[in-house]
Amino acid sequence: MQIINELLVIVTTILVSGSIVTFMLPHIVLLSLKKKLLDPFNERKIHTKVTSRLGGVSFFVSIFISLLLVVSFSNILGLVQIDITNRFTLEICAIFILYIVGLSDDLSGVIYRKKFIFQIFTAILIITSGTYIHNLNGLFGVFTIPEYVGIPLTILLIVFITNALNLIDGLDGLASSLSIMALAVYGILFFMCNKSIDMLIAFATVGALIPFLYANLTRVKKRASTKIIMGDSGALVIGLILSIMMIKLWGIEPTESDIIPSTYFHVMAFTMILVPCLDVLRVVLHRAKSNQPLFLPDKNHFHHKLIALGCTHHQSLVLILAINVFFILLNTVLTNKLPIIYITIIDIVIWTILHILITKKLKN
**For every residue of 56-105, which 3-state class applies, written as one string?**
CHHHHHHHHHHHHHHHHHHHHHCCCCCCCCHHHHHHHHHHHHHHHHHHHH
Residue 312 has φ and ψ, to the nearest 5°, of -75, 170
Check residue 338 and give its pLDDT.
Answer: 93
pLDDT of residue 157: 96
User: How far apart, in Å, do the first and last CA atoms of the chain sit?
Assistant: 61
Cβ burial 5-38 (10 Å sphere, 16+ → b, else e):
ebeebbebbbebbbebbbebbeebbeebeeeebb
pLDDT of residue 121: 97
CA–CA dist 319, 324 (Å, integer): 9
Helix axes 274-289, 340-363, angle to 10 degrees: 60
Helices first, then strands: H and E counts in the chain: 13, 2
DSSP for residue 109? -
Distance CA 277, CA 3 (A): 34
Phi, psi of 275 (to 5 degrees): -60, -55
| C-beta separation of 279 from 302 below 8 A | yes
- Residue pair 230/56 in contact (Cβ under 8 Å)? The answer is yes
Total Cβ atoms within 10 A of residue 350:
15
Q: What is the pLDDT of residue 289?
A: 77
Three-state secondary-structure class, residue 135: strand
Q: Which one, of 118, 104, 229, lies nearest residue 169 by Cα?
A: 229
How far is the C-alpha of 166 from the C-alpha of 175, rounded, in Å?
8
CA torsion sign for 159, 51, 299, 278 is positive
Which residue type sits at 318?
V
- Print the SS3 string covering 159-221: HHHHHHHHHHCCCCCHHHHHHHHHHHHHHHHHHHCCCHHHHHHHHHHHHHHHHHHHHHHCCCC
Per-residue pLDDT 10s for the chain (364 aa) are: 788 999 999 999 999 999 999 999 999 998 888 887 787 655 555 555 678 889 999 999 999 999 999 999 999 998 888 888 899 999 999 999 999 999 999 998 898 889 999 999 999 999 999 999 999 998 888 889 999 999 999 999 999 999 999 888 888 899 999 999 999 999 999 999 989 999 999 999 999 999 999 998 886 555 455 788 999 999 999 999 999 999 999 999 888 877 788 999 999 999 999 999 999 988 888 777 777 766 666 677 888 889 988 888 899 999 999 999 999 999 999 998 999 999 999 999 999 999 889 988 888 7
Task: Say if CB 62 and CB 329 are below 8 A apart.
Answer: no
DSSP summary character for residue 143: -
CB 166 within 8 A of CB 248: no
The torsion angles phi and psi of 227, rounded to 5 degrees, stand at -95, 170
pTM: 0.94
Task: Let me know how long the chain is.
Answer: 364
- The whole-angstrom separation of Cα 227 and Cα 234 is 15
pLDDT at 283: 85
In sequence order, what are the residues at sequence separation of 6 or more whose Cβ sits closer than 8 angstroms to the Cβ of residue 147?
132, 134
